[in-house]
Amino acid sequence: MTRLCALLTATLSVAVALVPPGSFTPAAQPAKEPTGEYVNKGNRPDSARATLKSHGLPNLEGKWHYAGPFDNTDKAGFDSAYPPEKKVELTATYAGKGDRKVTWKEYDTFALGKVADLQKLFPDVRTNAVVYLYHKFESPKAYKMPISFGSDDTISVFVNGKRLLHEAHVRPAAPDQEMVTADVKAGTNELLVKVCQEAGDWAVYVNPELPDSVPE
């Protein structure tokens, strides 16, 4: 055993001596994923969100909440500033349509870039109702974020307490029916969407779009 160890040591010493200095090349490291690039997901809505994420910017993904139904009899809900328009408190309880108790609930099936069926939230409410959708998000910097909306029927949009959209439509919802530019601030931001229904379908579409220039 001693002779075998000595022989292996001698052989290794000769092999090392035969390697010219500086000729050793370490194994190539895996390339890092590029950041800040356009990310093609095969369609515009998904690509926009993926690209915003690659730049470290908010893309409206994450938790969404909803509160409703509130009353829209005689279309009164469109201009009625129900409590969520004044201040969003996710632990609050409100008086809703027909004196039912309304609380904030997580909208865990909400999907950006697709028309969302709001009727599924309230299967027993078919007419004259209002719902609020809420999303809170963080941004590392201030910039202007375009956001695309669609609605059935009316739609109002608030960003950080400022109303940016207030349109009294009666229509089926589709992507890109409305576009707003939100002044996103560095830190915490709040997006509130209000959709009023008269009768029939009740739906909404939301998706961020790419800004004209990405902030450095």
Q: What is the pLDDT of residue 162?
A: 97
User: What is the chain's alpha carbon radius of gyration, rounded to the nearest angstrom?
Assistant: 28
What does each C-alpha distance from 33 to 36, 37, 56, 123, 140 come to in angstroms? Answer: 10, 10, 14, 45, 21
Q: What is the pLDDT of residue 29?
A: 39
Q: What is the pLDDT of residue 4?
A: 33
pTM of the model: 0.83
| Arithmetic mean of pLDDT, 43-56 | 96
Given a cut of 90, is residue 55 above it in pLDDT? yes
Tens digit of pLDDT for each residue in 99-158? 999 999 999 999 999 999 999 999 999 999 999 999 999 999 999 999 999 999 999 999
Given a cut of 60, is residue 188 above it in pLDDT? yes
Tens digit of pLDDT for each residue in 33-47? 445 689 999 999 999
Confidence of residue 216 (pLDDT cuts 50, 70, 90): low
Q: Are 28 and 48 in contact (CB under 8 A)?
A: no
Query: How far apart (Å, rounded) are the C-alpha atoms in residues 85 and 75?
Result: 17
What does each C-alpha distance from 111 to 46, 68, 116, 132, 204 come to in angstroms? Answer: 11, 19, 7, 15, 10
Q: What is the pLDDT of residue 212?
A: 86
- Helix (H/G/I), strand (E/B), else coil: 121: helix
Given a cut of 60, is residue 14 above it in pLDDT? no
Q: Kindly report the average pLDDT of the chain as a whole number.
A: 87
Given a cut of 80, is residue 174 above it in pLDDT? yes
